[in-house]
Structure 1
Amino acid sequence: MIDLIEQSKLETLQLLPFWEPEEILIHAEPAGESNMNLVLRIKTNRRSLILKQSKPYVRKYPQIPAPIGRISVEHQFLTRIEHDQLLAAMSPKVILFDPEQHILITEDLGKSLDYTSIYSGKRSLKETEIKSLVDYLNQLHALDATGFPENLDMRRLNHEHIFQFPFLEENGFDLNSIQPGLQEISLTYKTDSHLKEKLAILGDRYLTSGKILLHGDYYPASWLDVPSGIKVIDPEFGFPGEAEFDLGVFLAHLDLGQQEKELAESILSAYQRPYDLQLVQQYRGVETLRRLIGIAQLPVDLTLRQIQSLLETARNLILN
């Protein structure tokens, strides 16, 4: 395997057997803040492409091992949805996949920002943006997930960081380095035995396969804001499961982004498949908790009092 890095020289990239005859690489640079994989924007004398390579660890946290085969899941997800007009229009087109090098090359959607700016509390999602995001889930969840990879290795990694690590009293992660006082507040949830019992049940349910194709990581960093509309990327956590997981994660990040509370009701009203509201709310709650007291932190602009309020609401969603 050719181990590419973010500062890979053009000479090294040019040697890869992916380019057309007489295609010359002109420039390469990191394409955004990818948490999981190496992602490069490569410009040639003919086109601009996105090259993604998975490694046996998390790019942002190299000390955390991660399944290197996740790039294959992303490839299968993108090829599974390419025959659906709406989903294809909202996703990058696959150009080439090399399983031996764990490299996926897709079209370049252009330099754009994701939607993590909503965490500042100063950006409100537009009605058209919400509609597009709900339409994507409606179409995706209507697809037949038969034969799609179980993606259990990635789910086990996610399971640890959603349902377990944030709730360990001694996990080596000092939350006071994120916000003074947060470590002490987190102990309320790390020592709540009833909450942890519910989380264990919910975590087991997350690991159980279902019949609906999920994106698996449906949050603002997976949504790109481009002139032609929202694009959805990074489906490497995709798996056949329960729709409530995607919905719960979606709603949790609207809460974390301080969006209008009425948005949740409008989203659930526009969602077209039957769903278990209690289960949606439980996934919503645990996603909120893990983002505030786990290692997968977000650039939220919240006071300690606001964080405490969100944490308490999230616990109530899980327990009630």
Structure 2
Amino acid sequence: MKFTLENESPIDQIQALDCWMEGEIIIGVSDVNDSNMNKVLRIHTNQRSVIAKQSRPFVRKFPQIPAPIERIQTEKRYYEEIQKESELAGFSPRILAWYPESYLLITEDLGELGDFSGIYSGEKKLQTNQIQELISYLNKLHQLQPVDFPDNLSMRELNHVHIFHFPFQEENGFNLNTIQDGLQELSLAYKKDQELKDRITELGKRYLQKGKVLIHGDYYPGSWMNADDSIKIIDHEFSFLGDAEFDLGVFLAHGDFGNQGNEVETQLKSNYNIPLDWNLVQAYRGIEIMRRLIGIAQLPLKLNLSQKEALLNKAKTYLF
């Protein structure tokens, strides 16, 4: 049965799915608005609650941006791979049901957990043990080399545009002054820097190449859920076989946004135990900082223009 998730989906239509236990009755549905990419609902029954996640042929947060609908198939495969590893399985919910014709995934409900986006405003701070836990996850994940993992190329191509290309177009139709007065003018110094743009183009080509290890692909505070005594990792639709350094660079960049970059870097150098190219880590760190400041994927940062300029200049040094 093909099924489309909507807030007003009739309960009897949801009840008709074949994933419910004996005597389980749907009593309500609530929207989960945290997902940027997909439609996500929490389904409440008389016995539990579960999460229903469905990909659409566009980005949920920006419906004008097309996105490959098959991304949720990659996410499902990622779940399957990490569930094979005892040290990773507890970080993410278990799959309960899969409806490929509807691009619909049903998983355990981890509860109404908050993510770590509060680090951008100073409302939250990553504790040392949490940084170590996030590194521990990557240590184990980056040892995985699954056979025939989806190349997820369409999602990488979408991400490639918004990381390596769109933010550095002088005329891209996105006026950064709608985000913060003066940001558009500030961005022009980087959009007109041909040496910088050539370096970013080179890095972008590498991003599109197939790598050897499984990476999360979007390892930032919005994908980390705070479960009090542990961290849960979600939103795996950007995963692919690529450079471990990409996950690490993104991780560090968001540490920088939370004014904890030095601490995260120190912990990584002490606790990440897989050989890596540190210059490549830094390059990915730099591009993530820049694209978040002058691209469309904005963060809830509490920074003035001078602070953003300082971060942009710091990011530029990481790229060379």
TM-score between the two structures when normalised by the length of structure 2: 0.97
Which residue number in structure 2 is paired with residue 300 of structure 1? 301
Aligned-pair CA distance for 1:124:
1.7
Q: SS state of the match for residue 101, structure 2?
A: coil
Larger deviation, residues 225-234 vs 6-15: 6-15
Q: Does 1:58 align with 2:59?
A: yes
Which residue number in structure 2 is paired with residue 153 of structure 1? 154
Q: Does 1:227 align with 2:228?
A: yes
**Which letter does structure 2 place at the counterpart of 1:170?**
E
Instruction: Report if the CA contact (8 A) 2:116-2:226 is conserved.
Output: yes
1:140-198, Cα deviation, whole Å (9 max, x unpaired): 00112321111100000000000000001111111111111000000011111001100
Cα distance between partner residues in 2 of 1:214 and 1:52: 21
Q: Does 1:99 align with 2:100?
A: yes
- Where do 1:207-246 residues align within 5 Å? 207-246=208-247
Q: SS state of the match for residue 225, structure 2?
A: strand
Cα distance between partner residues in 2 of 1:315 and 1:101: 43
Aligned-pair CA distance for 1:27:
1.5
Cα distance between partner residues in 1 of 2:231 and 2:74: 22
Q: Does 1:273 align with 2:274?
A: yes
**Which letter does structure 1 place at the counterpart of 2:245?**
E
Larger deviation, residues 68-77 vs 16-25: 16-25
1:57-79, Cα deviation, whole Å (9 max, x unpaired): 00000000000001100000000
Q: SS state of the match for residue 179, structure 1?
A: coil
Instruction: Report if the CA contact (8 A) 1:163-1:199 is conserved.
Output: yes
Aligned-pair CA distance for 1:260:
5.2
Which residue number in structure 1 is paired with residue 76 of structure 2? 75
Larger deviation, residues 17-26 vs 168-177: 17-26
Instruction: Report if the CA contact (8 A) 1:252-1:288 is conserved.
Output: yes
- Where do 1:1-320 residues align within 5 Å? 1-259=2-260, 261-318=262-319, 320=320
Q: Percent identity?
A: 52
Cα distance between partner residues in 2 of 1:192 and 1:44: 56
Q: SS state of the match for residue 118, structure 2?
A: helix
Count of aligned pairs between the two proteins: 319
Instruction: Report if the CA contact (8 A) 1:151-1:237 is conserved.
Output: yes
**Which letter does structure 2 place at the counterpart of 1:198?**
R
**Which letter does structure 1 place at the counterpart of 2:198?**
E
Q: SS state of the match for residue 298, structure 2?
A: coil
Cα distance between partner residues in 2 of 1:81 and 1:127: 24
Cα distance between partner residues in 2 of 1:301 and 1:7: 36
Change (3 A) 1:7 1:315: farther
Cα distance between partner residues in 2 of 1:6 and 1:220: 26
1:24-65, Cα deviation, whole Å (9 max, x unpaired): 111111124110000111110121100000000000000000
Cα distance between partner residues in 2 of 1:260 and 1:194: 26
Cα distance between partner residues in 2 of 1:184 and 1:14: 53
Instruction: Report if the CA contact (8 A) 1:121-1:259 is conserved.
Output: no
- RMSD between aligned alpha carbons? 1.2
Cα distance between partner residues in 2 of 1:297 and 1:304: 14
TM-score between the two structures when normalised by the length of structure 1: 0.97
Aligned-pair CA distance for 1:263:
2.5
Aligned-pair CA distance for 1:86:
1.7
